[in-house]
């Protein structure tokens, strides 16, 4: 398996002169640039203790389902993925220096930020409250899972407290993966209850910054799975297929048009 299997392959540019000399702007095949801003998020798994709470309580189930749906379908982008960098050591004769790479550094423990507008009923804030207070009671610092541990339904363990998310960056057709990261051991680290601060006469929408602590990993196994997710997202067999072509989109209300109506 090659390092970049699963990612979009660049077209060959070796037959073009590009920007050396006079650019041939009549031949646009050599200027297909990478365009950022095409990003998607897939929730792969949620904490086990949240799953179990959902089976016992329909309100929790609705809250969790809404949360997952908002994360995926209201996703606008993420920030926090880092460069691969290097460190060097010096080779010197005491007068002149030469720097040689001694270490390459890939991102490990990270904080990935995403921005969402909170919905009425506060599903994002409530879910984060439920998650954080379940893994550590804020008054006693005891792990409770909101009663699951005391009742014997679930043993405590970090493996029951983590999300797994897949971040996919695509080309401008939303059909090919440019880059993807699997966000392992992901945990939201705050519940933004400061959104409830307010003053009479000041009305505004509340945008949240959702920060996930996680361990991002990339590689061909991740890229190939990301392509499968993207293929399914675009598949006509998918009941929730995303429509990207405006002239094929049917708005709510179109089916209610009755040419015989006198209203």
pLDDT attached to residue 258: 87
- When divided into structural domains, the chain yields a total of 1
Give the residue-averaged pLDDT of 203-220: 96
Q: Mean pLDDT over all residues of the chain?
A: 95
Q: How far is C-alpha 92 from the chain's CA centre?
A: 46
pLDDT attached to residue 49: 98
Does 44 map to a domain? yes
- Tens of pLDDT along 182-196? 999 999 999 999 999
205, pLDDT greater than 80: yes
Does 21 map to a domain? no
Q: Quote the pTM value.
A: 0.92
72, pLDDT greater than 90: yes
Does 192 map to a domain? no
pLDDT band at 242 (very low <50, low <70, confident <90, very high): confident
pLDDT attached to residue 259: 87
Are the CB atoms for 170 and 176 separated by under 8 Å? yes
- Which domain range does residue 71 map to? 1-8+35-78+107-187+204-236
- CA dist 221 and 15 (Å) reads 32
Give the residue-averaged pLDDT of 21-39: 93
Are the CB atoms for 208 and 124 separated by under 8 Å? yes
pLDDT band at 178 (very low <50, low <70, confident <90, very high): very high
254, pLDDT greater than 70: yes
Does 28 map to a domain? no
Give the residue-averaged pLDDT of 73-85: 95
Does 14 map to a domain? no
Hey, CA dihedral for 218, 223, 228, 230, is it positive or negative?
positive
pLDDT attached to residue 263: 66
- Tens of pLDDT along 141-175? 999 999 999 999 999 999 999 999 999 999 999 99
Does 143 map to a domain? yes
260, pLDDT greater than 90: no
Does 241 map to a domain? no
Does 127 map to a domain? yes
- Tens of pLDDT along 91-134? 999 899 999 999 999 999 999 999 999 999 999 999 999 999 99
243 class by beta-carbon count within 10 Å (0-12 exposed, 13-18 middle, 19+ buried): exposed
């Amino acid at each position: 398996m090659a390092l970049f299997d699963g990612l979009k392959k660049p077209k060959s540019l070796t037959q073009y002169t590009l920007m050396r000399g006079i650019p041939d702007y009549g031949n646009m095949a050599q200027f297909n640039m990478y365009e950022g801003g095409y990003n998607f998020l897939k929730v792969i798994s949620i904490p086990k203790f949240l799953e179990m709470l959902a089976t016992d309580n329909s309100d929790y189930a609705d809250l969790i389902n809404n949360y997952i749906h908002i994360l995926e379908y209201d996703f606008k982008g993420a920030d926090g993925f880092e460069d691969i960098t290097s460190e060097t050591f010096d080779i010197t004769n005491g007068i002149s220096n030469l720097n040689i790479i001694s270490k390459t550094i890939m991102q490990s423990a990270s904080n990935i930020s995403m921005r969402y507008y909170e919905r009425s009923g506060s599903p994002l804030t409530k879910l984060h409250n439920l998650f954080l207070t379940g893994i550590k009671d804020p008054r006693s610092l005891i792990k409770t899972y909101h009663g699951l541990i005391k009742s014997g339904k679930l043993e405590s363990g970090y493996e029951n407290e983590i999300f797994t998310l897949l971040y996919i960056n695509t080309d401008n057709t939303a059909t090919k993966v440019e880059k993807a990261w699997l966000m392992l051991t992901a945990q939201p680290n705050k519940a933004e209850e400061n959104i409830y601060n307010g003053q009479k006469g000041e009305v505004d929408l509340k945008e949240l910054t959702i920060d996930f602590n996680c361990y991002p990993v990339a590689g061909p196994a991740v890229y190939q799975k990301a392509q499968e997710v993207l293929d399914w997202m675009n598949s006509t067999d998918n009941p929730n297929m995303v429509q990207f072509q405006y002239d094929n989109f049917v708005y709510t209300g179109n089916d209610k048009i009755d040419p015989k109506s006198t209203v």
